[in-house]
């Protein structure tokens, strides 16, 4: 007996799904816990579906998405700016989890095509729709596919061996479980399914400011106004080419990577709701919601300027506007204390290198995001070891417990908002320790 003769509705197929049903599926996806709090991923999904279903686009290119969805300039280089690929990869993972969990009863599965970014519909037991007008592979491509079949098993064996070695190494280096103070603090960044972004510094941006001997503000950074420096009168052509090469790359600091590692290895954030992004791949609008952990100096993360005017401390690293305050040849760093509390100086100045090592400073601030719906955590050091010290404080039970005990009792269950100034000491590139020299609750 056939299914429809027995009163059972036959399974829907992609070609039988109406426009209303397609968009209803998108609405369910966007309202699910997997996408509900991620504005950027929802915008990406809506855009590719509209371009494909409503406008009949056969192909949706990466550059187009970067301009339309992520506000990149029309001449941006998608080969260097990977924001579309990063966000599309996140979207694919969220879609897979939805159809495996909340949407496991859906008859039609929505996927995102790799390369063209087109939305694909398929039945539960079907393979994805094949792009129209597919042509057989030319002989040379068939030749390369043959090589893939030969090399594939060897690569799998090698990958398995590497995976086993990494497992052995990670098992030996498994960090101790987070203590109660660490769990209490970080729980505010993982609550309610909110998106969290670990934002690492743009070292190229900091190096460019050193090269042109001036500060480059956030507005100039966002609209890439600094590119005028590449053609500045009197600048040797090779020097301009070098600056252009520098800003085409996404370099970051090893200290930032180490802090990210500490946070992720301690499992302090929900991995399904956390993304590690480069400063240049973030944007102002993202700070209206979610949680953002900014790791690096203010000169390397311009987004800190969105919150700087409301902060009590401002770190000068010996270069940024230093000639206005101090002898530019002096390598010491100092911190402006804009609202000194009782007994505090208006500025903290590092001592010159001595027998105990070299002093530095780190700012540690936990503040509300722009929409006051989440938190922004700033870890900014005057050098790599100072940034690492701030990360160490936030992931070490004894250090964080001491800081939290010195803060007033929280009025809510959310993260406490505060600014802490750390004085650090290093010998060569090794951190010898740190102390909290000022703590301002917000």
Whether residue 169 lies inside any domain: the answer is no
Q: Which domain holds residue 30?
A: 3-123
Same domain, 404 and 418: yes
Domain count, the chain: 3
Nearest to 310 by CA among 332, 330, 338: 338
Same domain, 405 and 428: yes
| pLDDT score at 345 | 94
Same domain, 419 and 437: yes
pLDDT along the chain (442 residues), means of 10: 41 68 91 83 92 89 90 81 85 89 89 86 65 44 40 42 43 60 88 84 89 85 86 79 86 88 88 88 88 89 91 73 42 86 92 72 93 92 87 92 88 83 80 87 92
| pLDDT score at 226 | 86
Same domain, 47 and 30: yes
CA-based end-to-end distance of the chain: 71
* pLDDT tens digit sequence for 66-124: 899 988 888 888 877 788 888 888 898 889 889 988 888 898 999 988 878 999 998 87
Instruction: Report the side by side order of strands in the sheet with 313-316.
Output: 313-316, 334-337, 347-349
| pLDDT score at 323 | 36
Whether residue 100 lies inside any domain: the answer is yes
Cβ burial of 169 (10 Å; 0-12, 13-18, 19+) is exposed
Same domain, 255 and 355: yes
CA distances from 245 to 201, 208, 240, 251 (A): 18, 11, 9, 12
Whether residue 334 lies inside any domain: the answer is yes
Same domain, 390 and 334: yes
| pLDDT score at 410 | 67
Q: How far is CA 272 from the centre of its chain?
A: 13
């Amino acid at each position: 007996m056939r299914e429809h003769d027995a009163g059972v509705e036959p399974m829907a197929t992609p070609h039988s799904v109406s426009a209303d049903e397609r968009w209803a599926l998108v609405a369910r996806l966007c309202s699910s816990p997997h996408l509900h709090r991620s504005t950027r991923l929802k915008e990406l999904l809506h855009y590719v579906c509209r371009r494909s279903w409503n406008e009949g686009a056969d192909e949706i290119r990466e550059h187009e998405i970067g301009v339309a969805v992520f506000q990149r300039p029309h001449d941006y280089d998608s080969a260097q700016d990977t924001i579309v690929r990063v966000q599309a990869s996140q979207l694919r993972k969220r879609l897979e989890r939805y159809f495996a969990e909340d949407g496991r009863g859906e008859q039609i599965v929505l996927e995102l095509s790799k390369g063209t970014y087109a939305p694909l519909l398929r039945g539960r037991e079907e393979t994805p729709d094949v792009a129209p007008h597919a042509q057989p592979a030319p002989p040379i491509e068939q030749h390369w596919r043959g090589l893939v079949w030969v090399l594939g098993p060897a690569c799998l064996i090698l990958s398995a061996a590497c995976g086993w070695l990494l497992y052995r190494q990670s098992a030996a280096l498994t960090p101790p479980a987070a203590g109660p103070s660490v769990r209490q603090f970080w729980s505010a960044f993982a609550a309610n399914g909110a998106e969290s972004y670990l934002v690492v510094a743009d070292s190229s941006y900091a190096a460019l400011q050193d090269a042109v001997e001036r500060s480059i503000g956030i507005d100039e950074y966002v609209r890439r106004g600094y590119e005028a420096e590449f053609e500045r009168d009197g600048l040797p052509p090779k020097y301009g080419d070098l600056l252009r090469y520098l800003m085409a790359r996404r370099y970051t600091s090893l200290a930032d990577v180490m802090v990210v590692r500490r946070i992720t290895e301690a499992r302090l954030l929900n991995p399904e709701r956390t993304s590690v992004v480069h400063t240049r791949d973030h944007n102002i609008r993202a700070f209206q919601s979610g949680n953002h952990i900014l790791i690096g100096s203010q000169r390397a993360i311009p987004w800190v300027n969105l919150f700087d005017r409301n902060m009590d401390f401002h770190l000068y690293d010996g270069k940024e506007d230093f000639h206005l305050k101090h002898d530019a040849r002096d390598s010491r760093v100092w911190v402006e204390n804009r609202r000194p509390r009782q007994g505090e100086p208006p500025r903290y100045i590092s001592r010159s290198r001595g027998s105990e090592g070299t002093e530095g400073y780190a700012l540690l601030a936990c503040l509300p995001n722009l929409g006051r719906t989440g938190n922004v955590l700033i870890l900014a050091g005057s050098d790599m070891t100072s940034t690492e010290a701030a990360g160490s404080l936030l992931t070490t039970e004894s250090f964080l417990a001491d800081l939290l005990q010195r803060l007033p009792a929280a009025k809510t269950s959310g993260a406490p908002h505060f600014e802490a100034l750390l004085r650090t000491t290093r010998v060569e590139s090794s951190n010898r320790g740190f102390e909290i020299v000022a703590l301002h609750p917000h």
